[in-house]
Structures are given as structure tokens and as C-alpha cells.
Amino acid sequence: MIKKILFIGFIVSTVLSAQQIYDESNQYLLAQSYIQAAQYQKALPIMESLYKSQPSNYEYFNALNNVYTQLKDYDASIALIEDRMKISNADINLYGMLGSTYYLKGNDKKAFEVWDNALKTLPQSEVNYRVIANYAIERRTFDKAIEYLKKGQNISSNPIYFAYDLGNLYSLTMQYKDATEEYCFILSINPTQLSTVEGRILTYINKPGALAVSLPVVEKYTNSENLNYKFLLARLYIEDKSYDKAYKIYKEIEDVQKDQGAQLLNFAQFLYGEKVYQTSASVYSDIIKNFPESPFVSNAKLGYAKTLEAVLDAETSDNKQTWKPYYNLAYNNSPEVNKVIAAYVEITKLYPHSEVANEAYLRIGEIKMNRQGNIKDAESYFNRIIEDSPMSQYASAAYEDLGKSALLQGDLNSAFSYFSKIALNGRYPADKRNYANYQLARINFFRGNFQQTKDELKNILSNLSDNNANDALELSLLMNTSPDDSSNLSAFASAELLAEQKKFGEAASKYKIVASDPKKFMLQNLAALREGEMELALNATDSAMAVFQKIADENEKNIYADKALYLLGNIYQFGLNNKTKAVETYENLLAKFPNSLYLDDARSQIVKLKGNVSDRPM
């Protein structure tokens, strides 16, 4: 009987204990919800009650201290922490919290005293220094944090970890020289950290004054046998645009590593990407000359030829009209162009049936078509890639160029065939296939197959992130807003094909007829814009400006008014070199069309022009 009573008592006690735990848990969750909602006054009595019932519970202690500090009741926080210290006076976090509270209270001196005494009285431990440093960082007293980290680094068995923290704090406080010293120190201990160190330095190197003080630090370390300092120094010279100095360093690296020009090739490719063509050409040339047996020499020869082409492109850029929506290509059969072609031809002979040769064929074809206007020769190079290397990564580009060539000649059947080969080949990149699908839709539009055009556009518009989506959307809207205007739509399509063939005069006449229709739907508005673009392509600047001004004056009644105003700004800037009027027009665009797609570019042009604007038209 007694056993039964004891058993029942045990069950009742267990149930009551479980109920108590359940109630406390709910109370704690309620307090946490108040804390998350920043209702600290409501959380306070709950947390005080919970902590009183379980003073050994660290989670309750920490939450209650957080409530006190949020309510700025710093004396209560200090009393709570000091009371806790009586239980656990070796807990470094308690000293960190106490100092943090004094700092919040405005007593910096007492805060530092608490932290300093903790590190003096507690056992010397790198963990303790890091904990206190973190509390100092949390209170944004960075100089004190640096002091603790340096002391911890002095006793640490792995000072690299402290060096990373110090480097970060030094850069945060704009002490860039000291930051670079720490990162160089890391390389001295562990050279494998080069990529991480370089990444850290690059996060601040372009801040004002950072490069000037960092370069001498790295230069000092390059006297050591650690080759990674040379890699780092070369990278900083690149940031300083001291490309010749960087080139010298890379040659020194090559002398040690003897990797047959691999690093030099990477450097040359970087320079090419940065459009530093003259130095890039020199580096490529040295690789070809000094490492004739290198496995990288074929890439160097290709890079050299591409650089020659880019130099030629840069030298003739003043004669270009690429700012215009449509323009005639200026064909060029000069010796300089033929020199570039000869460099590519040499590659095809030295490395037949290679991807290097295929890229060379592609570039020769594009030069022939776009620079010399020799379409038949161009097509022979594109076809060679397709016939000899159908699996080449350049095959899709060759089909694309053949499609463009066919459109230029008005051969819609061939163009459709070429773009179909891209669209239907799952091996080709998605962006290439999407572009081909858009061209197929356009070809059907040119043919007057409007339903097929709509069907093909739907597939493109299913992915609005695609690069062709905006163009596809415009064509789709054009067709959907003109369903009962097939005659004008057909005339517009005919004009679009003529514009594609660069027959701008004929195209302008057709656009003008469509634009003159009094209905003034989207089709007529776009036709008017195109008419102005054709006049601009024909260098009939005054006529083009009159058309664009008329469209711009229609404001919100014409959805192309903002583009017309933007093109007017372009004419003033690039065509007439009237910087004052250009700025005035772009600013007018910003004011009248705050949601225009051309805002960012207009702002960019204003920034470029404003420092150079005269008080009168030029």
C-alpha cells in the first residue's frame, strides 16, 4: 500500500514538473516574441521572473541582459553581470559583456579597465584575446580591438588568423599600409594563401590613397625568395595601370618558373580584355619569339592577331557611326586590314583543324564581310568551319554570320535555313538558340507570315530574362496592336527588310507611307521613328532631327517620344559636337520621361559632357 502511494506521488510530481517546464518554455517564447518585436518593456518582467526561478540558466541570463541594455538600464545590466561573475569568475564572456555595458553607459575608461584586467588576470589565451577583441569590435572601438588582436597574435601558435582580423580592421579604419603589412606577413608564413590575400587587398586597393601606400610595402617584400610576392606586386602594378612594370615582374616570374610563357599569356589576355592593346601586342609578340616550342604559342599567335585587329579598330573608331541605330559600314581594303587578315591566315596554316584555326577562319570571314564588303569570300570562310569542323564551338557563330549575310542580300530562304540549324541544335548554347529563334520570327515577319511570327515570339517571351526578350516584346506588341491593319503591317515588314539590307533610302519611303496613316497606332508611331532613323543613316541630319523633334513633342501620346528625344541628344553630342545642346536635350529627357529606359545612359552622357560644356554652342 505504501509503495502504491509513493508511486502515485512520483507520478504526480513528474507531471507537475513537466507542466512547470512547459509553462516556462511558453513564457520564454512569449518573451522572445516581445524582444523580436522590440517590445522590451513587456519582455522585462517575464525574463526577470524566469531568471529568478533559474539563475543558473545562461540562456535566461543572456536574454535578460539584452533586455536591460536595450532599455538602457545599464546599472541593472552591470549588477546582473557582476552577480553572475560570483558564480563563474573565469568566464571571459562575462568580462566582455561587462565592459561592453560600461561602454554603452558612456564610461569608456571603465570599459577598457574591465577588458584589460580580464586579460591580465585570466590565463593567457589567444581565445581570450579574440573574445575581448570581438566585444571591442561590436562597440566599434577599433583601435582597442587592434591592440588586443596584436597582443593575441604575439602569443598565438597560429598568428595567421589574427593577421586576417588585423588586416580587415586596418583596412576598415583606412590604415592601408598596416593592412598590407599584415597580408604580406600571412604570405611569409603560408605562401598558399596568395589568392585569398590578393582578394583581401583588392577590396580596398582602389580606395583613396590605398595603392600609393601599399605598393612600397609589397615592393619591400619582393626581395625575398617567396615568388608569391612578385605575383602580388604585378597585380598591384596592374591596378596602378603601370603595365610595363607589371610586364617586367611577369618576365622575372617566367625566368624562375620556366612555364613556357603561361603567366605571360594570362597577362597578355588580361591586357587585351582591358583594351591595353599596344602592351598586349608586345607581350604576345615576345611569347611567340621567345617560346616557339611552347604549347601556348598558338594561343599567343591568335591573341596577337586579335590585338592587331583591335588596334586597327581603335584607330578607325573616329570614323565610325556606331552611335546611330542604323548606319552604312565604311569598307576598308587598306594594307593594315590585309596585315590583320594575313596574321589570321598564318594561324590557319600552322594549326589546321584546330579550334585556334576555326576562330581565325571566323574572324577572317567577319573582317571580309564587315570591313571589306566581300560577302562571297566571307561566306567561304564561314562554310569552311561548318564543313571541316561541324562540332566546333565556332560552328554556331559561323551559321549566325551566314544567316546575317543572307539577310543582307535579301535571301530569306537561306537565312531561315542557317538560323534553323542553330535553333534546332541542342548542343549550341541557349543564348545562341534563342537569338536564332528571334531571327526566325523576324524572317517570318518579313515574309508576311504573321501568325507564325506570333507563335515563335511566344517561345522567346516565355523567358523574359533572355537578351532577345525586349526586341521580341516590341515586335509582339506591334503585331497585337495592328491585327486588322495587315496592309500597313506588310508595308512595315517590307521596310524592315530593306533597312536590314541597308537600303535606307527605299526603307525611308516605305516607313513614311505607313507613318502618314492618320490612325496613329503603335505601328504608325514606330514607322515614324524608323523614318527618322533612316534619314540619320543617310546623313540627312536636319531631316532626321525634324522627325525626332516632332515625335518628342507628342510626349505621352507617342510611346517612342523618349527614344526620339534620346536620339536628338545623340545627334547633338556625336553628330554635331554641340555639347551644350546635348546636355540640354538629355536633361529634358530626364525631366519629361522619368521612367524611360534611356535614363541611365542619358545621365552617363551628361556626366561625361558637363565638365566640357562651353557657354555657347560649338
Cα 162 to Cα 160: distance, rounded to the nearest angstrom: 5
Question: What pLDDT is stored for residue 90 in this prediction?
Answer: 84
Q: Do 567 and 584 form a contact (C-beta atoms < 8 A)?
A: no
Quick one: which of 571, 561, 579 has its CA closest to 535? 571
Question: What pLDDT is stored for residue 556 in this prediction?
Answer: 86
Q: Do 564 and 551 form a contact (C-beta atoms < 8 A)?
A: yes
Cα 290 to Cα 540: distance, rounded to the nearest angstrom: 53
Q: Does residue 31 form part of some domain? A: yes
Q: Do 273 and 306 form a contact (C-beta atoms < 8 A)?
A: no
Q: Does residue 89 form part of some domain? A: no
The structural domain count of the chain equals 1
Buried/exposed 4-32: b ≥16 CB within 10 Å, e otherwise: eeeeeeeeeeeeeeeeeeeebeeebeebe
Q: Indicate whether 257 pLDDT > 60.
A: yes
Q: Do 169 and 130 form a contact (C-beta atoms < 8 A)?
A: no
Cα 105 to Cα 294: distance, rounded to the nearest angstrom: 68
Q: Does residue 490 form part of some domain? A: no
Q: Does residue 11 form part of some domain? A: yes
Instruction: Compute CA distances 300 → 200, 276, 289, whole Å.
Output: 31, 16, 10
Instruction: Compute CA distances 41 → 64, 72, 339, whole Å.
Output: 11, 11, 81
Exposed, middle or buried by CB within 10 Å (0-12, 13-18, 19+), for 421?
A: buried
Q: Does residue 401 form part of some domain? A: no
Q: Indicate whether 312 pLDDT > 70.
A: yes
Question: What pLDDT is stored for residue 482 in this prediction?
Answer: 78
Quick one: which of 559, 537, 556, 549 has its CA closest to 581? 549
Question: What pLDDT is stored for residue 364 in this prediction?
Answer: 97
Q: Do 457 and 472 form a contact (C-beta atoms < 8 A)?
A: yes
Q: Do 479 and 523 form a contact (C-beta atoms < 8 A)?
A: no
Taking only the tens place, the pLDDT of each residue in 153-203 is: 999 988 999 999 999 999 999 999 999 999 999 999 999 999 999 999 999
Question: What pLDDT is stored for residue 88 in this prediction?
Answer: 80
How many Cβ atoms are within 10 Å of 132's Cβ, its own excluded?
Answer: 29
Taking only the tens place, the pLDDT of each residue in 406-465 is: 999 999 999 999 999 999 999 999 999 999 999 999 999 999 999 999 988 888 887 767
Region 319-341 average pLDDT: 85
Region 360-385 average pLDDT: 95
C-alpha cell at 481: 496592336
Instruction: Compute CA distances 524 → 63, 304, 482, 535, whole Å.
Output: 69, 49, 10, 17
Report, in angstroms and rounded to the nearest whole number, the Rg of the chain calculated over CA atoms.
Answer: 36
Taking only the tens place, the pLDDT of each residue in 4-39 is: 554 444 444 444 445 555 577 888 999 999 999 999
**Could you give the angle at which helices 176-189 and 210-221 cross, rounded to 10 degrees?**
30
Q: How many helices (H) and strands (E) does the chain have?
A: 32, 0
Q: Does residue 244 form part of some domain? A: no
Q: Does residue 39 form part of some domain? A: yes
SS3 assignment, position 258: coil
Q: Does residue 273 form part of some domain? A: no
Taking only the tens place, the pLDDT of each residue in 109-140 is: 999 999 999 999 998 899 999 999 999 999 99
How sure is the predictor about 104, in pLDDT bands with cuts at 50, 70 and 90? very high
Question: What pLDDT is stored for residue 320 in this prediction?
Answer: 73
- Annotate 498-565 with three-state secondary structure: HHHCCCHHHHHHHHHHHHCCCCCCHHHHHHHHHHHHHHHHCCCHHHHHHHHHHHHHCHHHCCCHHHHH
The pLDDT mean for the chain works out to 90
The range of the structural domain enclosing residue 46 comes to 1-56
